[in-house]
Structures are given as structure tokens and as C-alpha cells.
Structure 1
Amino acid sequence: MRPAAALTLCLCLAPALAFQRPLAARPAKGKLFGVPRKPLLGKAAVGAALATLATAKPALAGEALKVSLGQSVLPNGAAAGAAGVGVMLGDGVSAGVSAAKVALALLLKVALPLGASAALGLALYSGLLGDAATSAKSAGQGFGATASRAISNVREGIADFIEGIFAGEESMVDPLEWFACTLESVNPAGDSEGWLKYRFKLKDKAASLPLDIGQGVTICGLDDDDRVVRMDMPLLSPRKARGYFEVVVRSDSDEPLLQVLSTLAPGDEIAAKCGPQRLDYTAEYQPVTSVVALVNADGILPALGVAQELLPSKEGSVETFNIVWVNDKEADFVMYDEVERLFYKFPKQMDVSCVIDEDIVSGIDSNAAVLDSVPRWEPGAMAIVAGDPGFCSSARSFLEAVAEYPNDTICNVA
């Protein structure tokens, strides 16, 4: 067994996260991770506007787009109006891209605060982010560099979505529907014995899964008796990966769905959809200043995903991120190298403790290493639980009864 790592970490909300769907039941005002909340861009409204534009109804498109923009991060009606005028000049998708340049010119003449607000308009209506940055710089109004930086911040949140529609392609799968995916490869999961990494291709290589932080996938198939079997799985791949996703599974498991996976060959298809669990913090104790993740087995994957999303920002409120990883055997420390890599990336902000306990269901509340590693609750602390169902139930009970975490400060993730 490798020595137990001690990994402390500053959880910060990346600027781009402001353009993702909010955490479920997030309060309307205030701060969650220390970053001021702003109304989110209405993706549905933008999609409706562009779809209307594509059916040669530009006036309706402009109105829909103005509504969505008026509810987003743009600070005033003038900017939304300018963008709407540009869109209404178009009579189709190709014309809409040209109209974007008109909106761009108008936006450059509107007295907007510098930074993300202006850049959001530029990015949305230029069609190509590079052109927007170049145009901003050449406008001679002194905010080229600021706009360029802000454009980078909104790139992942909105640009791919908009560009995918302009290109006539879907940018992400339907978040509520099952979709077909094709097995691309099966390989050992790093140095972890008894674990396999499955990589699945999406039909559209430019598509991505519309996943929230901490959300995995549900995979479904038919067993030998033609019965439907399914299983929720955490992701190994980045949640915004394009054209594919990866999961890690036990090679010796008797789970019905995993038995189905073991019979697949590259090229075989199976069904999947976005998983049911995600980071869902609804407690009143905000902003969040510390996080502890109590996980086992592949539950480490969503914990790493949360850390990778939140750590890079320098604007967040979280000062510590504790991972307590409990398994009943050494072989279940799957993808240990990924944990180690993240720790060395954020050595001053992270704590990670690896604990072996033969009874991970009922034994953690008396395990000295767990008791020592899990900090007692105080206002601003949030807990994450992930792993096998029996462990998750035991972990929640431990956090509530022993570490004194209020129930609504504990979040189950995929």
C-alpha cells in the first residue's frame, strides 16, 4: 500500500461556471462559492431564437433573443437591443452569421462596462470568437485585451453551443433522453488491478454530454434473458469531453449491467443518459468555505471531478478540500495516480487520506483514521459522499451523527 497521502485544497469557482446550469435549488441571490451569482444565459431561449431564425422568422428570433439576453449578464437593454437588431436583419442561419457583424459593430458603440458583459455579446454574435477578439482590438476603444480574456471565460459555457447551431450540428445530447453510444475500447484502468476503463463514442463526434458538476451517466442494456438492466456510473473523462465519455468498472463484479458490458466488443452499441445525481447544495450556510469528500472505490472519480472544476479559480471562497478515501482492499484505490497528480498540482490547498477498513459499511464510525481525517462541521462546510450504495448510506450517517453535519450540507454525487 502506498503511504496515505495527505492532500489540503482551496475550492474555487471558475469564472466559466457562471454560464453553466445552476446547482439544483440554488438560492436566487448571494454567494455560494464566493463568486457573485449572476442571472444565467437562457440556453433554451437562445436555442429557440436561433431555430426561429433558421426558419426565416427573424423578427421573432430577435424578440426571443432580446428576452434571453435581457435576463442574462448583459447590463442594460441597449446592448440586448443592439444584438436583437443585428439578429433581426438575418433571414436564415447564414444571414444570421452576417448579421452578427452588424450587432458587433453596434455593440462596440454602446457604452458598456468592460469585460465579460461586452465580451459575451461579442462572442455570441460574431460566430467566431477569434474574429470577435480581433474586431474588439481593432476598434481602438481600449478594451481589446479585457474582451479577449472575458471571451476565453465564456468560451466553454456558450460558444460551442452557439457555433454548433450555426454549423447545423447539435452541440450536446438531450439531457433527458436516452442516446445510443458505441464501445470504442476496453483497457486496464491505469495501474489498478481488477478495474477496466470503457470508452464509448457518441454518434456526433462534436457532441458533448450536458452534465452538471458531480453528475455521471446511467448506462442501460439487455441481459441474456432480454431483461433491461441499468447502472449509474461516475465519469472518468472530463464532463465536457466532445464525442466520447469514459467510465471505470470492476472487472469481477456480478452487477447485471457490468455483466452485459463484459460481453460487448468494440463497435457494439448500448444506451446511456445523463445520471440522476449531481452536486446539489441547498443549505443556508453560504458561502462554502470548506469541503470534505467521504468516498470509496470509484466514488473518487466524481470527487476529483468536483475538485478539478473548482480548484483552478482564484476567486472562490473555499479554503480547504479534504478527500477521505475508504476501501476494504488496496486494489480498490482505482486511478490512484490521478489523485496523486491532483494533489501535487494543489499541494497547499488539498488534503487526501487513504484508509483501509475491512468493514466499510458499519466500521467507519469507529475507524480512528476516518475520525481523525473528517473535520467536524462548522458553518460554511459542505460534505460530498460517493461510492457504493451501502458505503454512501453509512457515510451520510457518520457525517450527521459523528461529524455533526446538517443533512442539507451533505451532497451525494455520481
Structure 2
Amino acid sequence: ILSDAFKTAIIAFVFALLISLRSKASISVFMSLLSTLGTYYSLAKGRVIRVYNKIKSFAVKSTKGIPMTFGNGEDAWRACILSSKESVGNSKYVRYTFGLPNKSNILPLSLGQKLSLCCLDDDENVAKGGFYLASPRSALGSFSIVVPRGAREDVEFAIGTENSNFVRVLENDLKIGDEVALLPGDQTLQYRGEFMPVTDILYIGSGAGIVPIVDQVKSVIPSGISSVKSVSIMWVNEDANDFQVAFRELKNEYYKYHKLRTISCYVNNVKDKFTDYHKYDEIREIITDFSPGKMVVV
């Protein structure tokens, strides 16, 4: 026969357990609701920012910069100054910012065009590379590039031998205030397909390859700018920290425009062939069969 004290203890324990279970369920529901509300808030905020930017563009006359001019042949190159070096969060990437000769200067680059940079290392050897801007092409008086750092073979794999050598000089030899030559580089975004207009774009990139993708996404998704109706992005990095390079920018665009349907981020060794993509439902959904009007940018 159980004593009254023992019975009371059991009842109290069961009652406390029920309250605990109910509390956990309530917390789970509450957190789910909070997450949903957060998503709707971000979407609403994105739409408001989009409308505000559109109204602002009509109300305020944008400041037009002065395009830098470049000559021909050996006289084509112009000079800029290395003004800062900054790590990008906890990633392996570094942002280098350069000042143009005039604070009103802008670089006359088109969408998908690289910028060629050239300098001398400490042994007077020429180092040269071609990079996409990590800053708006309309930025006044300066520009930035984002490049990886790390073991030589890893950097070469990511951006090529010539660019890797230039990055080595940037990191080890050049100091703030040193001069670098610049020249508009190769145009890499050219659609040669027969199906026009382009209505759907899938971007696939890894590492700093996301930099030109961000610029292109911002250029094609605003309403009335292009024929594009749907944009999806697949971005692969070896380290989750490397998504800090551009994830916030992409997320902001996602909440502002419904055309940006999917941003799929995967941690994978990009040196290996990514052949098991069929195992991922999200990848299967965005990598679909070709149809007229679809364009894939890698």
C-alpha cells in the first residue's frame, strides 16, 4: 500500500511532466510561428525597400559619374591606388579596394565584363590578372575585387595561374598607397543561342564566382528591365564560411523580387566532380531539361 506522501509525489511528478511536455509542444509551435512571421516580415520589408528605391529613383536625380577614358595600345592603361585590404567575415576571401584618379570617375564596364589589373612585384616582375568587380559598376571614385587566399595550388585552382600570381603580389608585395594599372578586360557574358527572348536563367557557381552572378542578378530581375521571368542560383563552396562573400546580398534580392525563385547553397569539395547531384531534390528541381528561352550561366 502506497503512503499518502508517495502518492502525492507521483501525482506531482506526472503533473509536472505533462506541463513540461505541453510547454515543449507550445515552444515548438511558437518557434514555428515565429519563423513564419519572420519570413513574411522579410518579404514585406523587401517589397517596401523595392518600392522605396523606385520612388527615390524618380524623386532624386542620380549622380552621374565621369567614365574613365582609356587610350590604345601601350598607352591604354590607366592608374589607380590600392586603398584598403579587408577580410570578408570568417571566409578565406579578401576584399581589395582601389581608388580611381578622380572621385567622380566610374569604370566604363558592361555587364559581365572583367577588369584587367597589372603591377610589379618586389623583384620587378610583371603580375597581371582579370577580375570581376565586387562593387557596383556605377560606384564613384573607387572599386573593389574579392579574391581567395590560401595555399598556392588552391588559389590557382579557384582563379587560374595568372590571377593567382597577381593575388600573391597583392597579398605579399603591394602596400596601401601603391599604384596599380587598370584596363577594361574581357567580356564574358555573351548569349549565342538561337532561342530568344531569354525567360529563365540558372546560375551555377562556386567560390568567388558568385561575384559576377550577383551583379547580373541585380541587373535582370527588376520588373521592366529584361525579358527574364525566373532566376535560380546554385552556389557551391568547400567551407560554409565562404557563403559570407555574398549570401546577404542575394537574400536581400530574394525578398525584394519574386523572380529570384531559388538560392541553393551546398558545401562540397569543388575539386571533385559533382556527379551525385541527382541525390538532392532541390538540385533536381532547378536543373531541369532544356526548353526554349532557358539560359544556364556557369
Q: 1:175 to 1:362 in 2, by over 3 A?
A: farther
Q: 1:175 to 1:193 in 2, by over 3 A?
A: farther
Q: Percent identity?
A: 32
Q: Is the 8 A contact 2:231 2:259 kept in 1?
A: no
Q: 1:372 to 1:297 in 2, by over 3 A?
A: same
**What is the Cα deviation at residue 260 of structure 1?**
0.8
The yes-or-no answer on 1:260 pairing with 2:169 is yes
Query: What is the aligned partner in structure 2 of residue 185 from structure 1?
Result: 84
Q: Is the 8 A contact 2:204 2:296 kept in 1?
A: yes
Query: What is the aligned partner in structure 1 of residue 119 from structure 2?
Result: 221
Letter in 1 for 2:109: L
Q: 1:175 to 1:197 in 2, by over 3 A?
A: farther
Query: What is the aligned partner in structure 2 of residue 172 from structure 1?
Result: 68
The yes-or-no answer on 1:270 pairing with 2:169 is no
Separation in structure 2 between the aligned mates of residue 232 and residue 202 of structure 1, nearest angstrom? 17
**What is the Cα deviation at residue 362 of structure 1?**
4.6
**What is the Cα deviation at residue 175 of structure 1?**
7.9
Q: 1:173 to 1:331 in 2, by over 3 A?
A: farther
Query: What is the aligned partner in structure 1 of residue 21 from structure 2?
Result: none
Could you say which structure has the higher strand fraction?
2
Query: What is the aligned partner in structure 1 of residue 289 from structure 2?
Result: 376
Query: What is the aligned partner in structure 1 of residue 110 from structure 2?
Result: 212
RMSD: 2.6
Letter in 1 for 2:68: M
Letter in 1 for 2:167: L
Separation in structure 1 between the aligned mates of residue 100 and residue 77 of structure 2, nearest angstrom? 12
**What is the Cα deviation at residue 320 of structure 1?**
0.8
Separation in structure 1 between the aligned mates of residue 121 and residue 151 of structure 2, nearest angstrom? 15
Secondary structure at the residue paired with 2:133? Answer: coil
**What is the Cα deviation at residue 192 of structure 1?**
4.0
Secondary structure at the residue paired with 2:169? Answer: helix
Structure 1 length-normalised TM: 0.49
**Deviation by residue 1:368-409 (Cα, 9 ceiling, x = unmatched):** 334443232111111112xxxxxxxxxxxxxxxxxxxxxxxx
Secondary structure at the residue paired with 2:166? Answer: helix
Letter in 2 for 1:229: A
Query: What is the aligned partner in structure 2 of residue 356 from structure 1?
Result: 267
Query: What is the aligned partner in structure 2 of residue 233 from structure 1?
Result: 131
Query: What is the aligned partner in structure 2 of residue 244 from structure 1?
Result: 142
Separation in structure 1 between the aligned mates of residue 288 and residue 214 of structure 2, nearest angstrom? 19
Q: Is the 8 A contact 1:289 1:320 kept in 2?
A: yes
Query: What is the aligned partner in structure 2 of residue 119 from structure 1?
Result: none
**What is the Cα deviation at residue 299 of structure 1?**
0.8
Separation in structure 2 between the aligned mates of residue 212 and residue 246 of structure 1, nearest angstrom? 16
The yes-or-no answer on 1:196 pairing with 2:94 is yes
- 5+ residue gaps in structure 2? 1-56, 153-163
**Deviation by residue 1:111-168 (Cα, 9 ceiling, x = unmatched):** xxxxxxxxxxxxxxxxxxxxxxxxxxxxxxxxxxxxx96x97xx78xxx47xx5xxxx
Separation in structure 2 between the aligned mates of residue 252 and residue 181 of structure 1, nearest angstrom? 26
Separation in structure 2 between the aligned mates of residue 316 and residue 257 of structure 1, nearest angstrom? 36
Q: 1:309 to 1:192 in 2, by over 3 A?
A: farther
Larger Rg: 2
The equivalences for 1:119-158 within 5 A come to none
Query: What is the aligned partner in structure 2 of residue 282 from structure 1?
Result: 192
**What is the Cα deviation at residue 304 of structure 1?**
0.7
The equivalences for 1:14-29 within 5 A come to none
Runs of 4+ in 1 over 4 A off after TM superposition: none
- 5+ residue gaps in structure 1? 1-147, 165-170, 386-414
Query: What is the aligned partner in structure 1 of residue 249 from structure 2?
Result: 338
Secondary structure at the residue paired with 1:275? Answer: strand
Letter in 1 for 2:111: I
**Deviation by residue 1:170-213 (Cα, 9 ceiling, x = unmatched):** x3232863221101111122x24221111100112211111111
